[in-house]
Amino acid sequence: MAKSLGFSFCGISKATFLEEEAPRLENWLNKNMHGEMQYMANHFDKRLDPRLLVDGAKSVISVLYNYYTDKKQTDAEAPKISKYAYGEDYHVVVKDKLHHLFEFIKDKAGEVNGRVFVDSAPVMDKVWAKKSGAGWIGKNSNLINKQHGSFFFIGEIILDLQLPEDSPIKDYCGTCTRCIDACPTDAIVEPYVVNGSKCISYFTIELKNEIPNDVKGKFENWAFGCDICQDVCPWNRFSKPHNEPRFEPAVSLLEMTKKDFENLTEESFNKVFKKSAVKRTKFNGLKRNIQFLNPDF
């Protein structure tokens, strides 16, 4: 059923306390690697135990939904938008499909209590996906799948239904350090550890204040998000373009020139990014990012 809904992968793990992750998360937060992302520190217990999110939870179903596209912005000098934000906001698209999957489960299993999650609650998506055999967490902290690379969204259904569990797979990063070498802000402070507060995606999306001057000239023209550590990952040579019409990039976005971005008005922002995740940074946030890329502007 998951496959028929367009998911690339569906796996199951036991809903239990994430014992290994607890000290890692605490250490990461204590080092302030979440920056202004205060929500990462909230609900610490819920983040580590799905049974606090769903009463009597027994299983976590993890799914992957491909968003890779080979379509590109036509002006090589235009500020760059991360591929994940080309189409309609993934929170809406993937959640719709997960609700369909959950309804299917209820039709088959009867009375089931559960909740659907798509990057919108204190759920450690990548950890659950890893436990379900969806892939391994790479040195850039992204989940990597042997067949599909890493250009996908992760979603979960946490429910009180006992389901047969899948097993994790091994790490296939080997000695490769391409993502670490390519990160212009040195956000990957050591293999498998990303300082979120140094990531271009953090600066261009999460940070609400002014972008610090010490990273000026290091963004490689990214105005919303960043795909560098994924673009250089050898496993993404297996990425195939998605088949989701709602993720198709608007022609008006792809054809925006550098000048179009610099002259962007709130009206045109609302039109071009009407359903896109770019709306998360709001008009003023995107204008700030564009101005930061161009010191002469």
For the annotated catalytic residues, the residue numbers are 119
What CA–CA distance (Å, rounded) separates 165 from 133? Answer: 10
What CA–CA distance (Å, rounded) separates 223 from 279? Answer: 13
- 12 Cβ neighbours under 8 A, 6+ residues apart: 59, 60, 61, 62, 132, 163, 164, 165, 166
- 215 Cβ neighbours under 8 A, 6+ residues apart: 185, 198, 203
Radius of gyration of the chain (CA): 19
- 3 Cβ neighbours under 8 A, 6+ residues apart: 10
Q: Tokens for 224, please give them.
A: 């919303």
State how beta strands 114-117 and 80-81 pair: unpaired
State how beta strands 80-81 and 222-224 pair: parallel
Q: Tokens for 231, please give them.
A: 């673009």
Residue type at 78 in one-letter notation: A
Inter-residue contact 95 to 118 (CB < 8 Å): yes
Q: Tokens for 140, please give them.
A: 């850039």
Length of the chain: 297
